Amino acid sequence: MSISSSPPKAPPMPAQATERTRLLRLMLPLSLLLLLAAPAPAAAAKGPDSSQPDLNPDQGGLATGTLVAGENDIFRDIRPPAGTNPAIQLTLTTLGSDTGGDVDLYCSKGRNIEPGPDDADFESTNLGTNRDYISIPPLDAVDFDKGDQPVYVCVVHNPGVSLTPVSYQLRLGWEYNQTTLNDQERQVAQQLFDRCCGREVSCQDWKLANEDLQKDTKSTGQQANSSLVDTDLCQFGACEDGSLVQLDLEGFFMSCPFPGDLFAQFTKLQTLLAGWNSFTGDIDDAARSLAALPDLQELGLYDNQLSGSLDEGGPLCKLTQGRLEMLRLGNMGLTGTLPACLFNGNSSLYQVSLAYNQLEGTIPNAFATATRLQLLSLAGNRLAGPMPPTLAALPNLSVLDLGNNSLSGEIPDFASQRLTSLDLSFNKLSGAIPDSLGAHPSLVSFEAKGNQLTSLPAAWQRAPGSAPVTAPLSYVRLSSNPSLGGGFPVGLANYPNLTLLLLSENRLGGPLPNPSAGQFPKLRFLDLDDNQFSGTIGEGWNNTGIFQLPPLGNAQAYFNTFSVMDNQLEGPLPPFLTDDTQEQVNVFLTGNKNLPDLSPGTSSSSSSGSSGGSGLSGGAIAGICVGAVLGVVALAVVGVWAVKRHRQQRAPQTGVSGKFNRFMDEAPTANQSLPHFEPAAFYEAAAAPGPSGYTPPTIPANLPLGGVELTPSPAPQGGV
């Protein structure tokens, strides 16, 4: 222990192999997030007993299922008919629009394996608002002629966005005629490359595809051409009947004036993801050019150098009055006020992020008809005034981030029973935290640090009863509210998922509770620094998750933490706090009344977890630990809402054609940092209430789907 004083037809899929990466843009090193994610337990497999035969459809098939949070359905022995070499296409549809849930699809080459979020050759990407797909490309001709026939295992996984079970439909089919881009749009692609990919760091993924094309050209005996450009943009998105319908240029670091005139020539484009580039120009000009795309549904232009003012009735308003459903314009220095047109009755949006711009004024009271809105992120602007009543009344709101503004007034009661994440940090909010948030049926994360709040919800202040608590609350951060008084929130003791409780720099006081067995079972981090708590520390804290759960990693920053610095606590200390058998827990006691000095060097603790010799104060180590554990909670809370970037698959095997065997690096280069975290994620949320606006493309009549029923199979016994 470290103790310190301091039957419908399926749509055709694009000819691509994509793999999705989720970038949680927290103020933490990428390596920290990867390490924190690693210890997560594997999801539970579901299915019939191990005598179930492997799946081997002759033509294709259809499966339906229902999964609870964390559960998997596994489909084995997926391979095309003998002697054929089609693309393998899997379409996953989340059924129902009233659960708020989502499912994901993962596939890997092999037999006795189980792919998942941390280890998969192929990971599903979105197709509309509640449909995912994976397209596994055909073999290279050379490998096919050798007789290679890969076998795949696919897993449908419920990441736990919804507390209720999620139903799905999985369709398998073969595509023998791969779609490539038509000649006219190839010419547009050539112009896009010539105009925006001149810098050495730009378009690395595209340039690798060019190299592959040049090698293929040379291998056929044609004259080498070092300037040859692979203009088939289907590899960076999705195509239908030779036209581009989805284009993902996220993180290409393109550098040019915004090429809206070129994007507008992809006339069937439904999705344009162009964040993390260096496009310049005016936001009105960009919106004006994109308004020419009649089917555009998803638009991401965040982290570019576009500027300008957002004004009511401007070109952006026109863009959002058609079919556009998801809009991300974060971190671009946009000015002006928040246009009401984004939310009025003519708007088609249900996910909006304008975070980290320079918007001023108030949030308009314009949400009365925005019943589809699920996600709104306006963090990091200069918005003032109260939260409007129509915003609080939204029935389907799931994620709301208004942090880092100057909002005032009281926190309203939120009508949505789907509200999962609420961030109101660093505003000027006052008054009591509404009782409705205390036992909210869906709320997982609640942040209101740095306000002027005065009291906690009643459910948190009542003594815990015998009835089980079903509220999913996991993360509470209410530090730095100097007017927040009352006692310790004893009512949280029975909240089964509470992981972080951060209440430092408030005016809470009185004795600490002495937890009973089974209370605070998942609590890993408790921060009560700079309050007015008095009395002793009870032996019952040894029963809590802080001292019973294993650490998240071997470094001190990943240890569970109990921090009560700068209060009025006194001894004697309970024996477990000086017990060296529990080495990997950070305990911070400095600044209390008559507590013994148990800092490293004076106590018997000499574990690797000791902060002695680290050169860091207890407060500094506590801060590091907060960041570490927040990373874990962010991974759990954000789930499929997390910001995602699509990339091309670098296949670990040889059975993938050259077009599909490259992908971009996991992270930007050092001079292209990620300055902000946008909690918004877009693309695999629950189906929007009402019609999604997505029209599935038709398929050729001769595409064989068959009627073979797919059956989940159990996990194998033994290794690979």
For residues 467 and 352, the model is more confident at: 352
Residue-level pLDDT at 532: 96
Residues 536-543, mean pLDDT to the nearest whole number: 95
The encoded tokens of residue 188 equal 């547009």
Quick check: 260 pLDDT over 70? yes
The pLDDT-based confidence of 666 (bands split at 50, 70, 90) is very low
Q: What is the pLDDT of residue 232?
A: 87
* Residues 493 and 572 reside in one and the same domain: yes
707 with 593, same domain?
Answer: no
Mean pLDDT of 104-117: 88
Around Cβ 451, how many Cβ atoms within 10 Å? 24
Can you tell me which residue has the tokens 């997030």?
33
Q: What is the distance between the alpha carbons of residues 513 and 538, in angstroms, rounded to a whole number?
A: 7
The pLDDT of residue 204 is 87
- Cα dist from 50 to 74, 158, 367, whole Å: 12, 22, 52
> Is residue 692 one of the residues assigned to a domain?
no
Residue with tokens 């290794």: 719
Between 622 and 470, whose confidence is greater? 470
Banded model confidence at residue 703, pLDDT cuts 50, 70, 90: very low
* Average pLDDT, rounded, for the chain: 75
Please indicate, yes or no, whether the overall pTM of this predicted structure exceeds 0.85. Answer: no
Indicate whether 574 belongs to any domain. yes
Q: Is the pLDDT of residue 472 over 50?
A: yes
Rounded to 5°, the CA angle 352-640-694 comes to 60
Note whether 618 and 710 are same-domain residues: no
Residues 439-454 have pLDDT tens digits of 999 999 999 999 999 9
Lowest mean pLDDT among 27-31, 36-40, 259-263, 712-716: 27-31
Is 397 a residue whose pLDDT tops 60?
yes
Average the pLDDT over each of 59-73, 94-108, 113-127 and give the range with the smallest value: 94-108
CA-to-CA separations, 79 to 119, 151, 174, in angstroms, rounded:
20, 5, 10
Could you tell me the pLDDT band of residue 526, with boundaries at 50, 70 and 90?
very high
Domain of 625, CATH number, reads: 3.80.10
If pLDDT is split at 50, 70 and 90, which confidence band does 705 have? very low
- The reply to whether 56 and 2 lie within a common domain is no
Q: What pLDDT score was predicted for residue 227? A: 67
Residue 177, pLDDT score = 58
My answer on whether 715 and 621 are in the same domain is no
Q: Is residue 198 included in any domain, yes or no?
A: no
Rounded Cα gap, residues 59 and 705, in angstroms: 6
**Choice between 715 and 190, residue whose per-residue pLDDT is larger:** 190
Flag whether 114 is in a domain.
yes
Percent of the chain predicted with pLDDT > 90: 45
Is 430:410 a contact under the CB 8 Å cutoff? yes
What average pLDDT score do residues 466-486 get? 93
Composition of the chain by helix, strand, coil, percent to 5: 20, 25, 60
Let me know whether 99 and 1 are in one domain: no
The model's confidence at residue 224, banded by pLDDT at 50, 70 and 90, is very low
Q: Among the three residues 642, 657, 677, which one is the final residue of a domain in this structure?
A: 642
> Who wins on pLDDT, 107 or 669?
107
Q: Is the model's pLDDT at 619 over the cut of 70? A: no
The answer to whether residue 486 scores a pLDDT higher than 50 is yes
pLDDT above 50 (res 183): yes
The residue ranking higher by pLDDT, 554 or 675, is 554
Q: Does 111 fall in a domain?
A: yes
The residue among 626, 642, 658 that closes a domain is 642
Residue 600: pLDDT above 50? Answer: no
Shared domain for 719 and 597, answered yes or no, is no
Residue with tokens 């997390």: 642
- 134 and 2 both lie in a single domain: no
Q: What is d(CA 560, CA 582) in angstroms, rounded to the nearest whole number?
A: 11
b/e burial code for range 151-162 (CB count within 10 A of at least 16 → b): ebbbbbbbbbbb
Distance CA 483, CA 280 (A): 45
Does residue 586 sit in the same domain as residue 460? yes
Q: Is residue 427 part of a domain?
A: no
Is the model's pLDDT at 141 over the cut of 90? no
**Assigned token pair, 256:** 């040019």
H or E, element range at 30: helix 30-37
Residues in the chain: 720
Q: What average pLDDT score do residues 375-400 get?
A: 95
Band (674; pLDDT cuts 50, 70, 90): very low
Structure confidence at residue 437 (pLDDT): 95
Write down which residue in 642, 665, 682 finishes a domain: 642
Residue 713: domain span: 41-178+702-720
Residues 587 and 711 grouped into a single domain = no
CB 403 within 8 A of CB 382: no
Among 533, 560, 554, residue whose Cα is nearest residue 626: 560
Confidence of residue 94 (pLDDT cuts 50, 70, 90): confident
The closest alpha carbon to 169, from 45, 65, 13, belongs to: 65
**Domain co-membership, 469 together with 533:** yes
The answer to whether position 611 is within a domain reads yes
* Tokens linked to 50: 């191990």
Better-predicted residue by pLDDT, 241 or 418: 418
- Predicted confidence at residue 79, as pLDDT, reads 84
Please tell me the predicted confidence (pLDDT) of residue 622.
Answer: 52
Q: Strands (DSSP E) along 544-666, which ranges? A: 560-563, 568-569, 585-588, 644-648
Greater model confidence, 645 or 88:
88
Segment holding 74, helix H or strand E: strand 71-78
Q: Left if phi > 0, otherwise alpha if psi is -120 to 50, otherwise beta: which for 488?
A: beta
Calculated CA dihedral for residues 528, 530, 534, 537, nearest 10 degrees:
40
Hey, how many other C-beta atoms are within 10 angstroms of the C-beta on 34? 12
**Predicted pLDDT of residue 412:** 96
Mean pLDDT over 643-655 rounds to: 27
- Segment 408-427 mean pLDDT: 95
Higher-confidence residue of 720 and 322: namely 322
Buried b (16+ CB within 10 A) or exposed e, 336-345: bbbbbbbbbe
pLDDT at 182 over 50: yes
Residue recorded with tokens 């010539």: 194
Supply 332's token pair: 């671009």
The model's confidence at residue 610, banded by pLDDT at 50, 70 and 90, is very low
Distances (CA, A) of 619 to 114, 566, 584, 589: 42, 11, 17, 10
Question: For residue 324, which of 363, 367, 271 has the smallest C-alpha distance?
Answer: 271
Residue 212 clears pLDDT 50, i.e. is over it: yes
315 within a domain of the structure (yes/no):
no
Same domain, 88 and 174: yes
Give the span between the Cα atoms of 607 and 4, in whole angstroms: 12
CB 170 within 8 A of CB 64: yes
Lowest-confidence region among 224-228, 235-239, 488-492: 224-228
**Per-residue pLDDT tens digits for 333-353:** 999 999 999 998 888 898 999
Let me know: does 162 contact 419? Beta carbons within 8 Å. no
pLDDT mean over 64-91: 85
- What does the pLDDT average to over 242-270? 93
pLDDT for position 507? 97
> CATH number, domain at 110?
2.60.120.380
Q: How confident is the model at residue 704 (pLDDT cuts 50, 70, 90)?
A: very low
Token readout for 707 is 């009627």
End-to-end CA distance of the chain: 38
Is the pLDDT at 518 greater than 50? The verdict is yes
* Count of domains observed in the chain: 2
The answer, yes or no, to whether residue 42 has pLDDT greater than 60, is: no
Instruction: Give 35-70 as a DSSP string.
Output: HHHTTPPPPEEE-S-TTSPPP--SS-EEEEEEE-TT
268-279 average pLDDT score: 93
The two three-digit tokens of residue 204, written as one number = 């690395």
129 compared with 239, residue with greater pLDDT: 239
Reported confidence tier of residue 28, pLDDT bands at 50, 70, 90: very low
Closest CA to 137 of 244, 9, 18: 18
**What is the rounded distance in angstroms from the CA atom of residue 367 to the CA atom of residue 132?**
29
